[in-house]
Amino acid sequence: MAGSVSRAGTAGTTSATGSGSLELARQGGTFMQRFTRGVSHWLLPIYTILAVGYLALPVAVMIAFSFNDAGRSNLNWVGFSLDAWLNPLGRPGLQSAVFNSLLIAVLATIISTILGVLIGLALVRHIFRGRAVTNLLIFLPMSTPEIVMGTSLLTLYLQVPGVLFPLGVHTILIAHIMFNISYVVVTMKARLQGFPRHLEEAAMDLGANEWTTFWRVTFPLILPGIVAAALLAFSLSIDDYVVTSFTAGQTPTFPLFIYGSQQRGIPVQVNVIGTIIFLTAVGFVLLTTILSRRQRADPVEASVDE
Amino acid sequence: MIGWFRRRPTVTAYLLLAPGLLYLAVFYVLPTVQMFLVSLWTGNVQDGYQLTFNFGIYGQAWNQYSDQFIRSLLYGGAATILTFLIGFPLAFFIAFRGGRYKNLLLFLVVAPFFTSFLLRTLSWKIIFADNGFVVGPLKDLGLVPDSFRLLATPIAVIAGITYNFLPFMTLPLYVALEKIPPSLLEAAGDLYANSWSRFRKVTLPLALPGVIAGSLLTFIPAVGDYVNAELLGNPQSQMIGNVIQSRFLAVGDYPTGSALSFILMAAILTGVLIYARIVGTEELLGGAST
């Protein structure tokens, strides 16, 4: 004990200013040990704050520049203005682009969530032959670069004139459902691991049939997973540029509108809509977090969790 | 009726799988086959194309665009290494020191995803601009010459890719680090490992699945990306994605575009399948579940 105090004294003269680092020094050790402890004690938290700030910087810039008084090109700060916020769709073509994006995202989310949840249920709850092939088929779209999916779908569409060509909302929708399915399955799988089968068995023992058991026991238990998967699918779909650019033809979506106006100068309205999408998504996440916390407070749920 | 299915759980499994897997077969596998066939076409966009099994196109495409291919691999590789260097300390802090801020920090890591990919990249265009708030002050202070640029340079492209895919690296790293049982770290300490050798011999090896998953999730989209090169780069920093995009959408040269696309996919899938052999298909989906 005495040794560690004296060591604290020598270390204290070089570095200790606050009580935190004094405590740090008191633990003693070789220089290397003190160094690594110092790194983890001070440098790591500071680094984390910087890294999070780095991640947030472009988002902050996007929000700030939605208040820019820029005329045509929103690349330099001109002055504060609320004009774009008061008229968020006031650009030719922007309204239909946003409408298409929302329509495609909603439909793609619903369809891909249904298809993906069914696969997720099969993978987690059933033993069947062909499991490896199924896993691979789910994994492949996620490990294919977007540009490859876009080009390959386009080559298929070109072969089915009249139905899939000319391109339009339907061909974008087909593409978005395709790349969403894998993400829904993966999210569901993660949430369904450790699924409490005994609760279903208990319901059956109490006389419920399969249908009632599914809707009264299974479905409420997997609902948080479904919501998480659907949110992910929606955000992937509404933000997609690469695959959409190959499958859209002349149909505008919000990302295509941004890219298209990039040459002539981005209108401030784009930042406004980007900010609205950002805030809506953050709101949704907060809402689902609060709801799942409340659910967890339920004693039955809590026992299920572990 | 339902009882019949209950006695045959395998049938139920296949019925659950059928719609989704059929969809993927028609709109993922079939297009890939079709793209391969299109790459063997000859002709032009005015007179039409014919399937002539022109395998020579692969050699031609590679000779003509090997620069862009190699550049894509270099940029993608550099961005992957950078995301690891930036993401690992971040994931480490959240996993071991996050405490009650853990969920908040994870949320902040994911939050950029709620902003459009294009708008985030355009924000970097504003930040890197010649008289923007990074380069401008550096010039005013005389730290860099007046001709210095960040925008329209390979540095900006790599920085853009690194930023855009950082969460893809950070989250799998976090998942892997989070799984490490504290008892193992304590055991290392009990066996007189100092914190550095404990980190090197226990933490890092156990984080390896996260490192591999994060590298794949970053490298794959980074190599195929062309948005960063288009918005932040210059004609000399074009990647293979830029070439494929212009072959398809500007020139209408479907065979060359398809061949390039197919080479890109084959190169990436070879790597992924080797990885799948090593870790198993079950881990593949688990590892990506972030």
Of A121, A140, A209, the CB nearest to B2: A209
CA distance B122 to A88: 19
A90 and chain B: CB distance < 8 Å anywhere? no
Q: Is the pLDDT of residue A263 over 70?
A: yes
pLDDT at B17: 94
CA distance B162 to B169: 10
Residue B49 three-state SS: strand
Calculate the average pLDDT of chain A: 84
CB contact under 8 A, A178 and B6: no
Cβ atoms within 10 A of the Cβ of A162, count? Answer: 6
Of A75, A152, A189, the CB nearest to B289: A189
Q: How far is A233 from chain B (nearest CA, A)?
A: 12
pLDDT at A12: 38
**Which residue does chain B place closest to A275, by CA atoms?**
B115
Range of the domain at B90: 56-287
Q: What percent of chain B has pLDDT over 70?
A: 93
Is residue A224 domain-resident? yes
* CATH code assigned at A169: 1.10.3720.10
State both tokens at B91. Answer: 């994931």
Q: Is the pLDDT of residue A238 over 80?
A: yes
**Which residue does chain A place closest to B258, by CA atoms?**
A151
**Which residue does chain A place closest to B255, by CA atoms?**
A155
Half-sphere exposure of A210 (CA within 13 A, CB side): 9
Who has greater pLDDT, A235 or A289? A235
pLDDT at B108: 92
**Which residue does chain A place closest to B128, by CA atoms?**
A75
A64: exposed, middle or buried (C-beta count within 10 Å: 0-12, 13-18, 19+)?
A: middle
Distance, first Cα to last Cα, chain B: 38
Same domain, B95 and B183: yes
Q: How many domains does chain A have?
A: 2
CB contact under 8 A, B119 and A141: no
Is residue B49 domain-resident? no
Same domain, B124 and B222: yes
Is residue B164 domain-resident? yes
Calculate the dihedral angle through the C-alpha atoms of A72, A74, A75, A81, rounding to the nearest 10 degrees. Answer: 120
Q: Is the pLDDT of residue A15 over 90?
A: no
Range of the domain at A187: 86-305
A27 and chain B: CB distance < 8 Å anywhere? no
Same domain, B79 and B154: yes
Q: Is the pLDDT of residue B99 over 50?
A: yes
ipTM score assigned to the predicted complex: 0.89
Calculate the average pLDDT of chain B: 88
Is residue B208 domain-resident? yes
Is residue B46 domain-resident? no
Of A139, A155, A235, the CB nearest to B113: A235
- Which band of pLDDT confidence, cut at 50, 70 and 90, is reported for residue B290? very low
Same domain, B21 and B138: no
pLDDT digits (tens, 9 = 90+) for B49-70: 989 999 999 999 999 999 999 9
Mean predicted confidence (pLDDT) in B247-258: 93
pLDDT digits (tens, 9 = 90+) for B176-231: 999 888 888 888 888 887 878 888 888 888 888 888 889 988 999 999 999 999 99
Contact B69, B62 (CB under 8 A): yes
A39 and chain B: CB distance < 8 Å anywhere? no
A165 forms bridges with which residues in the sheet?
A161
Q: How far is A300 from chain B (nearest CA, A)?
A: 24
Cis amide bond preceding A166, omega within 30 = yes
Q: Is the pLDDT of residue A208 over 60?
A: yes
DSSP state of A42: I
Same domain, A174 and A250: yes
pLDDT digits (tens, 9 = 90+) for A100-128: 999 999 999 999 999 999 999 898 888 88
Same domain, B33 and B166: no
Of A137, A241, A245, the CB nearest to B21: A137
Same domain, B188 and B249: yes
CA distance B64 to B53: 20
- Which band of pLDDT confidence, cut at 50, 70 and 90, is reported for residue B11? confident
Same domain, B96 and B189: yes
Of A55, A152, A153, the CB nearest to B109: A55
pLDDT at B5: 65
Calculate the dihedral angle through the C-alpha atoms of A144, A148, A150, A152, rounding to the nearest 10 degrees. Answer: -110
Q: Is the pLDDT of residue B265 over 90?
A: yes
**Which residue does chain A place closest to B41, by CA atoms?**
A155
CB contact under 8 A, A148 and B265: yes
pLDDT at A21: 42
Q: How many domains does chain B have?
A: 2
Buried b (16+ CB within 10 A) or exposed e, B15-50: ebbeebbebbeebbebbbebbbebbbbeeeeeeebe
Same domain, A281 and A135: yes
Of A52, A145, A258, the CB nearest to B268: A145
* CATH code assigned at B142: 1.10.3720.10
CA distance B21 to A137: 8
Q: Lowest-confidence range among A182-196, B25-39, B159-173?
A: A182-196
pLDDT at B83: 97
CB contact under 8 A, A146 and B224: yes
Is residue B242 domain-resident? yes
Polymer length in residues for chain A = 306
Q: How far is B195 from chain A (nearest CA, A)?
A: 6
Mean predicted confidence (pLDDT) in A170-187: 96
Select the residue from A75, A148, A193 to test the B interface by mutation, using most B Cβ atoms within 10 A.
A148
A28 and chain B: CB distance < 8 Å anywhere? no
Same domain, B140 and B181: yes
Q: How far is B163 from chain A (nearest CA, A)?
A: 7
Residues of B in contact with A282 (CB under 8 A): 111, 114
Q: Lowest-confidence range among A39-43, A148-152, A269-273, A287-291?
A: A39-43
pLDDT at A306: 39
pTM of the model as a whole: 0.86
pLDDT at B98: 86
Q: What percent of chain B has pLDDT over 90?
A: 57
Nearest to B245 by CA among A155, A151, A260, A255: A151
Q: What percent of chain A has pLDDT over 70?
A: 86
Residue pairs spanning A and B at CB distance below 8 A: 282
Is residue B104 domain-resident? yes
- Which band of pLDDT confidence, cut at 50, 70 and 90, is reported for residue A295? low
pLDDT at A147: 96
pLDDT digits (tens, 9 = 90+) for A53-102: 999 999 999 999 999 988 667 778 888 988 889 988 888 889 999 999 99
